Structure 1
Amino acid sequence: MVRKFVAPALELIMLDKALNNEFDREEALLNFGEMYATALAGDGHVGPDEIMLTVGGELGGGAALLRLATLHLLNQLLPDELKFGVRMYMGKGVYNIAAYGGDAAGLMRFLAVSAPSAGGEYLSDKFNEFVEAARVEVRLDKDSIRLTEGGNVAADLIISEGGAAVKYNVYLRRDEIVLQFQSTDRSRVELAACLLRLAGVTAEVKKVGSGDVWYVYASTDVLAAGREELRDAIRKVVEEALEKGWVDEKKAKRWLEKLEKGLVLMEGWPKYEVGLSGSGALVIRFGSTDPDSIQQVARRLNEIGLVEGRHFT
Structure 2
Amino acid sequence: MKKHVVLYKSLSPALRERLGEHAEITEITQLGGDGLARLRDALPHAHGLLGASLRLDAALLDLAPRLEAVASVSVGVDNYDLAYLDRRAILLSNTPDVLTETTADTGFALILGTARRVVELASMVRAGEWTRNVGPAQFGSDVHGKTLGIIGMGRIGEALAQRGHFGFGMPVIYHSRNPKPAVDARFNARHASLEQLLAEADFVCMTLPLTAATERMIGAREFALMKPSAIFVNIARGKVVDEAALIAALQSGQLHAAGLDVFEKEPLAADSPLLRLDNVVATPHIGSATVETREAMARCAVDNLIEALAGRRPANLVNPQAWAARGR
Q: Normalising by structure 2, what TM-score? A: 0.27
Which has the larger share of helix? Answer: 1
Larger RCO, structures 1/2 (Cα 8 Å, 6+ apart):
2
Q: Which has the larger radius of gyration?
A: 1
Q: Normalising by structure 1, what TM-score? A: 0.28
